[in-house]
Amino acid sequence: MKKILLLLILLSVTFGKAQKLQNIQSGEKLSYRIHYGLLNAGIANLTTLKTTYKGQPHYYVKGYGKTTGAVRAFFKVEDHYESFINYNTGLPSFYVRNVREGSYTQHFETVFNHGNQTLLLTDKEKNTTKSVNSVAGIQDMLSAFYYLRSLDNSELKVGSIKKLNIWIDDEMFPFQLKVVGIENVKTRFGYINTLKIVPQVLSGRVFKDKEGVTLWVSNDKNHVPIAIKAELAVGSLKADIDSYSNVKYPLAFSK
Over its length of 255 residues, how does the chain's per-residue pLDDT go in tens digits? 555 555 555 544 444 344 468 889 999 999 999 998 888 999 999 999 999 999 999 999 999 999 998 888 888 999 999 999 999 888 999 999 999 988 999 999 999 999 999 999 999 999 999 999 999 999 998 988 776 677 666 666 888 777 888 898 888 888 777 788 999 999 999 999 998 988 776 555 555 554 477 889 899 989 899 998 887 766 778 999 999 999 999 999 998
Of 138, 133, 219, 140, residue with least CA distance to 182: 219
Domain over 2-245 is classified CATH 3.30.70: no
What pTM was estimated for this model as a whole? 0.85
Instruction: Say what the pLDDT of residue 46 is.
Output: 94
CA distance 126 to 106: 10
**Domain residue ranges of the chain, discontinuous segments joined by +:** 2-245
Q: Identify the DSSP state of 7.
A: H
